Chain A
Amino acid sequence: MSDNQGPVWEVFVQKKSGQPFVHCGSLHAFDKEMALQNARDLYTRRSEGCALWVVPSNAIVASSPEDIGSFFEPANDKVYRHPTFYQIPDAIGHM
């Protein structure tokens, strides 16, 4: 395959109405309509979903590997940020 296959797009599939859109992969396409059609053919032809988002990859702002320390490690010793110290009344049942 040649390298003039168009820009890369990221694909997000929603499995059922109301559920979050989950990233499932990427593809090449030259415009929005082609990206949507290619996403349909590549990622939903085995009944994987009921809705699709396609996003140009270059529109995504990503953290970089060097950010791991400053971005994520400070959370490691702060268990109190998890709401696990509350007693849940029985009447509420499963949350």
Chain B
Amino acid sequence: MTTQEALFQYALRLGDTNLILGQRLSEWTGHGPFLEEDLALTNIALDITGTAKSLLEYAAQVEGKGRTEDDLAYLRNDRQYLNAQITEQPNGDYAKTIVRQAMIDCFDLYFYTELAKSKDETLSGIAQKSIKEVTYHLRHTTSWLIRFGDGTEDSHNRAQTAVNELWAYTGEMFEMNEVDAILIKEGIAVDLPAVKLKWEKHMSDVLEKATLVKPENVFMHTGSRKGIHTEHLAFILAEMQALPRMYPDAKW
């Protein structure tokens, strides 16, 4: 694998992760628990979709085969998607959405802080912009997670159930393969085990504040680095891609 191919895969992985998460979060638009929170989560979804656009635009440019970010988003099948499986998990109740989002926001904060030091100027630039957005996302989702965990018996149980269910998808966020190895040598990619230490420390602190129990020795799902996904991704793509596939080159 050449450095260029690795960089394409890397930008695709990051772009897909943001795209699918942004699409999932957008499902809450107009259905939030109350008006203000509906807007807050929609804002977060929009930030994340914006990051996806920048990353997929860069992936298309690196690939150099004349594809655009829209081609990458709308004309690939689930097995060609490299998003982390946690992003495609259903929204569930609001506690589950918040738990998933807090886990990812926390990862993103430490990940983009490292990516900002990348020797690749485009990735570094995207990361620097994202840090500010993600800092706010994490503040918002953390305060909700603590409210749910340290709230009523019902909200506590829902938050704990979500933590238990989603923890099995967190191991995958830190997996590395040939792509990472090639790009770390070039000073482009982030060393994920280092991010994992910070993420675990941060999540432990937040869960403790929320009076929630951190799961131990959990089976971890895997596969997205090879394009293997849970059953949910294909349904997301069916909805997201229906229009561009039915009306190729449609403008709106």
Contacts and interface: CB of A to CB of B under 8 A. Distances in A.
A37 B146 CA distance: 15
B36 interface: yes
Contact of A41 (B34, B39, B143, B147): B39
A53 to B, nearest CB: 17
Interface residues of B, number: 12
Given A28-B34, A38-B36, A40-B136, 12 more contacts: A1-B35, A2-B34, A5-B36, A6-B34, A28-B35, A28-B36, A30-B147, A37-B40, A38-B40, A41-B39, A42-B36, A42-B39
Nearest to B40: A41
Q: Say whether chain B's binding surface is mostly helix, strand, loop, or mixed.
A: helix
Contact of A5 (B35, B139, B147): B35
Contacts of B40: 37-38, 41
Interface size range of chain A in the complex: 10 to 19
Given A41-B43, A45-B43, A33 B143 contact: yes
Q: Say whether chain A's binding surface is mostly helix, strand, loop, or mixed.
A: mixed
A13 interface: no
Interface string B33-57: 0111101100100000000000000
Nearest to A5: B34
A6 B34 CA distance: 10
